[in-house]
Amino acid sequence: MAITEDEFKYCMGAWPSGVTIVTSRHGEKIHGMTVSDFTGASLCPPLAVVMCNRDSITTGMIADGKCFGVNILAANQHELSNRFASKKFEHIRFEGVDYDTAETGAPLIRGAVANLDCRLDATHEVGDHLIYVGLIQSARVESGDPLVYWKGRYRGLEADSSGEEG
Ligand SMILES: Cc1cc2nc3c(=O)[nH]c(=O)nc-3n(C[C@H](O)[C@H](O)[C@H](O)COP(=O)(O)O)c2cc1C
């Protein structure tokens, strides 16, 4: 018998991850959402993958725009993470956010510890998510610590950045 959704979420919470904002562009429209399911996938060719819920707006924009940017958030960017995860702020996610436009057109957020610009290379269906494989066009790395997510809370690398116990 398969495990329940809650059991799965609880178990996955034990896996610490970085936090990214995955962005895309289709024509004049840009969008983005918070994504922790990101990893590098191949060195040669350089490929990265992100796992995107089929229902998310960003997911549809990546399919249409055939590109995505991955912005690996810095430790002080947890508010951006919340904004890009919240439906309440869906229409104002980029308001006041400094970003550059990558070669593909995807927004690359400034202040992130790293940015990747990807051209959509392949799409794989996996249950209620899509795995997007991107051919990396360019990468930029800045100094600073990354934001970490573990057991439903944002963390720093060495201590809980919120100052609370998990
Ligand atoms: C820490 C964190 C990690 C998340 N990781 C993912 C993820 O890997 N894939 C995904 O599809 N949604 C993920 N989400 C949820 C989306 O950010 C959220 O559903 C968002 O509102 C989708 O926005 P959109 O429909 O406007 O694209 C995550 C949310 C948080 C807070």
Q: Is the pLDDT of residue 8 over 60?
A: yes
| Average pLDDT of span 23-36 | 98
Residue 160 forms part of a structural domain: no
| 3-state SS class at 62 | helix
CB 79 within 8 A of CB 103: no
> Would you state the pLDDT for residue 1?
77
Which residues contact ligand 1 via a Cβ below 6 A? 19, 33-37, 51-53, 56-58, 81, 85, 87, 90, 149
Whether residue 146 lies inside any domain: the answer is: yes
Q: What pLDDT was estimated at residue 39?
A: 98
Q: What tokens were used for 124?
A: 């794989």
- At 158, the pLDDT band (50, 70, 90 cuts) reads confident
Which residue is it, tokens 């944002």?
Answer: 154
Domain that holds residue 22: 5-153
> 143 CA distance to ligand 1 centroid (A)?
25
Q: State mean pLDDT over 22-40.
A: 98
Sign of the C-alpha dihedral computed for residues 32, 35, 39 and 41 taken in this order: negative
For a substitution probing ligand 1, which of 12, 24, 53 has the most ligand atoms within 8 Å of its CB? 53
Largest CA distance in the chain: 48
3-state DSSP assignment of residue 61: helix
Domain count, the chain: 1
pLDDT digit string, tens, across residues 51-79: 999 999 999 999 999 999 999 999 999 99
d(CA 71, CA 124): 22
Q: Is residue 165 part of a domain?
A: no
CATH number of the domain residue 104 falls in: 2.30.110.10
| pLDDT score at 156 | 87
